Every structure is written in structure tokens, then in C-alpha cells.
């Protein structure tokens, strides 16, 4: 059985993330979406809030589960018995960063492969940062976030104001 791990901060989960999850769920027996800490980012949503949103979005995918991870991504993948890391690539800039990360992970654990899924063109511009920028300016979020998380994002920005 092939278990893949899709790590990220998912702050918040976007329609682009959902697309990668959907496609990965068709390629692997099991996909574990893992909220990982990134010291370079200051998340707007708590880990628990992000986990709740991801769980809602992933309900239609019977072979997808969600959790919160700690430590090095490759070490957490080993801990949950995942042999593949899934990474979405939107643009050349993503590729350069992801290639460095994948190479480091190869050195840390050569048994865990990294698979890059190219983002569909309609999602290539989408990021959690863009979602937060649009939300902070009261823009229409419907094309950017799954329906299951729209209200959560809108409510969070009412709190922040």
C-alpha cells in the first residue's frame, strides 16, 4: 500500500490545495494531509482551525486523512509510514524552492520520494497569502477557497478588524 503525505501550512486551505489533494487521492492508496510548522510564516489560523477546515474539505475523499505534524517533514513522513511527499508546483519560483527542499529530504532519507504535481492553470496564481490579502480587503473569496471554508475565512477577518 502506498501512503503519500501532503505537507503544508494551509493557512487557509485553497481550491488549489484541494485540487492537489483530489489528484493525489487518485494516485495513491492513502494520502495524509499534514499541517506542518514553518518558522518563516506567522499563521493567521490556529493549527486546530486549519485542521478543522482541511477535514471539512477532505470529507469527499475516502482515502484522505488529516493531521498536525512536528519536526522535519521527512522525519514525520517516516513516522507515519509515508513513502512519498506530495508537493504542488505553481511556477518556476516554486520549483526552485521545492527542488532544494526535495534534495535535502533525499539526503536525510533516501527512501522517501518527492512527487511534484503541476498546478492546473486556473490555480497557478493562487496562494494562501493571496487569499488573506483578498479577504483583508473584503474581496470575493469564492474562486479561491472551497465553499466549506469560506465562512471561516470571512469570520476570521471580522475578528481581526
Selected catalytic residue, list 17, 18, 50, 132: 17
- Answer yes or no: 81 catalytic: no
Q: Which of 25, 50, 87, 128 is catalytic?
A: 128
d(CA 38, CA 44): 13
3-state secondary structure of 32: strand
Whether residue 158 lies in the annotated active site: no
The active-site residue, picked from 41, 48, 81, 142, is 41
Determine the 3-state secondary structure of 53 from DSSP. Answer: helix
**Catalytic pick from 18, 50, 87, 90?**
90
128: annotated active-site residue: yes
Burial pattern 70-82, b for ≥16 Cβ within 10 A else e, equals eeebbebbbeeeb
142 is annotated as an active-site residue: no
In angstroms, the CA 145 to CA 57 distance is 10
Catalytic positions, written as ranges: 17, 41, 90, 128
Amino acid at each position: 500500500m502506498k501512503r503519500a503525505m501532503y505537507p503544508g501550512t494551509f493557512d487557509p486551505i485553497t481550491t488549489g490545495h484541494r485540487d492537489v489533494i483530489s489528484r493525489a487521492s487518485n494516485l495513491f492508496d492513502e494520502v495524509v494531509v499534514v499541517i506542518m510548522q514553518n518558522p518563516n510564516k506567522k499563521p493567521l489560523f490556529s493549527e486546530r482551525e486549519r485542521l478543522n477546515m482541511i477535514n471539512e474539505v477532505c470529507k469527499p475523499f475516502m482515502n484522505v486523512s488529516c493531521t498536525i505534524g512536528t519536526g522535519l517533514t521527512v522525519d514525520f513522513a517516516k513516522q507515519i509510514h509515508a513513502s512519498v511527499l506530495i508537493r504542488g508546483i505553481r511556477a518556476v519560483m516554486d520549483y526552485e524552492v521545492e527542488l532544494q527542499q526535495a534534495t535535502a529530504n533525499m539526503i536525510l532519507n533516501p527512501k522517501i520520494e518527492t512527487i511534484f504535481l503541476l498546478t492546473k492553470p486556473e490555480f497557478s496564481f493562487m496562494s494562501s497569502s493571496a487569499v488573506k490579502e483578498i479577504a483583508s480587503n473584503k474581496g470575493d473569496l469564492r474562486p479561491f477557497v472551497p465553499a466549506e471554508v469560506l465562512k471561516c475565512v470571512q469570520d476570521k477577518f471580522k475578528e481581526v478588524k
